[in-house]
């Protein structure tokens, strides 16, 4: 090696050292001059507190609440996250209008946020929400969804052993919710349950290809949820330049691209079919048909020429979000609710009394949407289940202007994490907060005292628009299951079901024995 090369190498090393020192100085200058410092762990350059919170910020936030209080901060790279874990601190964040300064959630790369969940533009979000709410909350849609849930359950239970059947509800329910969500959203058959029972092999090559796509979709949903967590809590420099993180980032992009391309293909084909339909042919009640015909001459609710219909990209983002939420969140809530019910036989007994009072003793009687509205105790069971075993422990928000939270002045673009999991367990709002007591929700809980103390579907203007759809599916499934069957946990010792954290708490295994009651 020549002398010149050695000097060049030494110079390069010196430059790198200077750049690192400058970066560290800039990093800590930002940290020590931040507006309204809050308690929290001391961050390291580049990664912040990533080495401490890892990829489970909910667990970290919960475990360190006693040390740092109801409002504290953690750092991810150069970004400060302010954790809020008391209802009094989130009152102005969960306001019911789009003029709130806390409208944005968090940008999720590799996904076109033109729908609702990941759309941070108030104007397009407001327009899209009106259309989606008009679809998902309409009695026509919910009645059809009630019928579809029963049909799919009845079809599946015909394969169960008549005496005793062991099943992993964590796997079964993911297949069930995949099938019903895809059929509801796209009006196309889905074969996840069929695959769960009989495997992926099929003699018909077309059917075999559809089965593979269904199975891949189920896996893609899980990967997408992991991507949400990855994008929120991994610093950009790691995602773009460090080999392990870089390759994960590419994997998540490929997964999101596949979801988008698959949905756009379904949309394109269905739009052509609708365009070729006769004027007297009826449009389906599935979500895709409703969204494609909203505010068009085929819309049964009328056509406003001053407002354009949804674009393919907007429809794509919306049905993808609904598919992901309907597949994963509803399925996990079902598992957690069944687990709690089996642990509390007295609650099951009262629930069955309600079933008999409303539906009679005929276990084959069809359940109507109107029936579901009468199940007040079941409604309380589901609410209490989501409080005790909180599915979505954290909700992100970003401020667009300076704000005052908890007496602290915070700059614009501050990132907030609302800790639902802890808020749902605060003893000042709930007597014996760790106990499963559905009766507490038979009382009035939405008064000013408990405002924001129970927020399973989020709050404010961005409350989940699919909450009615989720409740219809959960109520119908729980009635069908406990009306006809006794359920026993194979693992009746564990205090909690087996879970892992992605963007939500996912039930990874829940083996049960299902026996007919009669």
Q: Which residues, including other chains, have CB under 8 Å from residue 237's CB and lie 6 or more apart?
A: 46, 77
How far is Cα 202 from Cα 407, in angstroms, rounded to an integer? Answer: 63
Contact at 8 Å (CB) between 46 and 15? no
Q: What is the DSSP letter of 303?
A: -
464 known member of a binding site: yes
Question: What six digits make up the tokens of 479?
Answer: 């009635």
3-class DSSP assignment, residue 393:
coil
| DSSP for 192-246, written as a single string | HHHHHHH-S--SSHHHHHHHHHHHHHHHHHHHHHHHHHHHHHS-HHHHHHSHHHH
Alpha carbon separation from 89 to 60, 62, 105, 216 (Å, rounded) = 19, 16, 17, 41
The residue among 206, 221, 140 whose CA lies nearest residue 173 is 221
Nearest to 338 by CA among 376, 287, 389: 389
Q: Which residues pair with 81 in a beta bridge?
A: 74, 415
Q: Virtual CA dihedral for 177, 180, 183, 185, nearest 10 degrees?
A: -60
Query: Among the residues of 392-466, which ranges form H helices?
Result: 420-423
Q: Which residues are annotated as a binding site?
A: 464
Q: Which residues are annotated as a binding site for heme?
A: 464
């Amino acid at each position: 090696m020549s002398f010149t090369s050695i000097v060049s190498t030494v110079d390069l090393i010196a430059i790198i050292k200077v750049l690192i020192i400058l970066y560290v100085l800039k990093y800590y200058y930002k940290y020590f001059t931040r507006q309204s410092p809050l308690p929290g762990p001391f961050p390291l350059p580049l990664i912040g507190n990533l080495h401490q919170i890892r990829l489970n910020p909910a667990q970290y936030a919960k475990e360190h609440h006693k040390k740092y209080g109801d409002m504290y901060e953690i750092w991810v790279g150069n970004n400060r996250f302010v954790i809020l874990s008391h209802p009094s601190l989130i009152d102005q964040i969960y306001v019911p209008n789009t003029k709130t300064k806390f409208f944005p959630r968090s940008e999720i790369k590799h996904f076109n946020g033109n729908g609702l969940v990941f759309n941070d533009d108030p104007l397009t979000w407001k327009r899209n929400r009106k259309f989606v709410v008009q679809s998902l909350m309409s009695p026509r849609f919910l009645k059809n969804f009630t019928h579809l849930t029963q049909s799919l359950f009845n079809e599946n239970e015909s394969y169960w052993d008549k005496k005793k059947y062991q099943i992993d509800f964590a796997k079964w329910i993911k297949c069930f919710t995949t099938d019903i969500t895809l059929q509801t959203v796209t009006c196309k058959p889905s074969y996840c349950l069929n695959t769960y029972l009989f495997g992926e092999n099929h003699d018909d090559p077309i059917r075999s290809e559809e089965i593979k796509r269904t199975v891949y979709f189920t896996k893609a949903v899980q990967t997408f949820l992991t991507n949400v967590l990855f994008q929120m809590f991994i610093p950009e420099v790691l995602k773009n330049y460090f080999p392990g993180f870089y390759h994960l980032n590419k994997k998540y992009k490929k997964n999101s691209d596949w979801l988008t391309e698959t949905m756009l293909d379904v949309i394109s084909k269905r739009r052509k079919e609708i365009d070729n339909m006769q004027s007297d042919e009826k449009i389906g009640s599935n979500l895709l048909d409703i969204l494609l015909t909203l505010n068009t001459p085929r819309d049964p609710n009328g056509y406003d020429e001053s407002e354009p219909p949804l674009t393919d990209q907007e429809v794509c983002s919306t049905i993808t979000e609904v598919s992901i939420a309907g597949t994963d969140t509803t399925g996990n809530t079902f598992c957690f609710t069944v687990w709690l019910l089996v642990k509390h036989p007295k609650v099951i007994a009262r629930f069955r009394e309600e079933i008999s009072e409303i539906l009679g003793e005929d276990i084959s009687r069809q359940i109507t949407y109107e029936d579901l509205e009468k199940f007040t105790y079941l409604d309380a069971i589901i609410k209490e289940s989501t409080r005790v075993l909180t599915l979505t422990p954290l909700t992100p928000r970003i401020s667009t202007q300076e704000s005052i939270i908890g007496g602290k002045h915070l700059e614009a673009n501050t990132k907030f994490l609302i800790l639902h999991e802890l808020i749902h367990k605060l003893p000042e709002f709930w007597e014996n907060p760790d106990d499963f007591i559905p009766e507490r929700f038979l009382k009035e809980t939405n008064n000013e005292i408990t405002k924001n103390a129970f927020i399973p579907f989020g709050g404010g203007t961005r409350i989940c628009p699919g909450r009615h759809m989720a409740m219809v599916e959960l109520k119908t499934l729980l009635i069908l299951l406990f009306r006809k069957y006794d359920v026993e946990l194979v693992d009746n010792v564990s205090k909690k079901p087996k879970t892992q954290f992605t963007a939500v708490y996912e039930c990874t295994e829940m083996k049960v024995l299902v026996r007919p009651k009669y």
